[in-house]
Chains A and B, each alone.
Chain A
Amino acid sequence: GNSVTQMEGPVTLSEEAFLTINCTYTATGYPSLFWYVQYPGEGLQLLLKATKADDKGSNKGFEATYRKETTSFHLEKGSVQVSDSAVYFCALSDYGGGSEKLVFGKGTKLTVNP
């Protein structure tokens, strides 16, 4: 079945450092891809999404590009802040055969120190 693999971390960075969180997927068809963020004690918030190959999703300084040739959707940010500390989940939409659900990676915990 469809699956998502992301670097598990934890990742610890200093403020203003560059962030990359790797995400690769296995899917039949052409899923949409998502990054969600979970702050401590909260639910998931949609960070960005891309619905087809070569699309770039972006929000709050975060970016990710849908790469069909490498089946990847890596999350990047040029300069992280302490407030970016959270758990980040890569996900794909699995809608084959009438199914409609998100398949998530295991999450990457990011800690940004001042």
Chain B
Amino acid sequence: EAGVTQSPTHLIKTRGQQATLRCSPISGHTSVYWYQQALGLGLQFLLWYDEGEERNRGNFPPRFSGRQFPNYSSELNVNALELEDSALYLCASSSGTGVADTQYFGPGTRLTVL
């Protein structure tokens, strides 16, 4: 069974540009989560999507947004990129069958903002 996949592996952008990151969950999983792992800041929750709707977001500005498609894959968009947005962005999925489902992570997208 395929795990969570993310694309691209690496992404290089300049300040002010927009970045789009993609995630495909494990087959059968309906919930997708996004986390940011920035140097020195640890892992921070960004967004949670379930059944196509945004269910919760972390303490990030509105220029971080996303969506979930009917096939449960997801996009994370970061507008007006800033240098401090450079980080590893991790996507996770869960079955969505109940609270505290186990989240399974993808390999991440490394975003570098120059």
Contacts and interface: CB of A to CB of B under 8 A. Distances in A.
B59 to A, nearest CB: 10
Nearest to A36: B105
Interface stretch (B11-19, B42-50, B60-68, B72-80): B42-50
Interface of B: 4, 6, 31, 33, 35, 42-43, 45, 48, 50, 55-56, 58, 90, 92, 99-100, 102-108
Nearest to B35: A102
Nearest to B45: A101
B99 A95 contact: yes
Given A95-B99, A100-B48, 15 more contacts: A43-B4, A43-B6, A43-B105, A43-B106, A43-B107, A44-B90, A44-B105, A95-B100, A99-B48, A101-B56, A101-B58, A102-B33, A102-B43, A102-B103, A107-B43
A85 B47 CA distance: 30
B106 A104 contact: no
**Tier of interface size on chain A:** 20 to 34
Contacts, number: 59
Interface stretch (A13-21, A45-53, A58-66): A45-53
Top 6 closest pairs, chain A to chain B, by CB: A93-B100, A44-B105, A101-B45, A104-B43, A32-B100, A43-B107
A28 B106 CA distance: 29
**Which of A45, A89, A93 gathers most chain B CB within 10 Å?**
A93
B55 A102 contact: no
A53 to B, nearest CB: 14
Contacts of A36: 105
Given A100-B48, A100-B56, A101-B56, A46 B102 contact: yes
Nearest to A44: B105
**Which of A43, A45, A99, A104 gathers most chain B CB within 10 Å?**
A43
A42 B58 CA distance: 23
A2 to B, nearest CB: 11
13 contacts: A36-B105, A43-B90, A43-B107, A44-B90, A44-B92, A93-B100, A100-B31, A100-B33, A101-B56, A102-B92, A103-B45, A104-B42, A107-B42
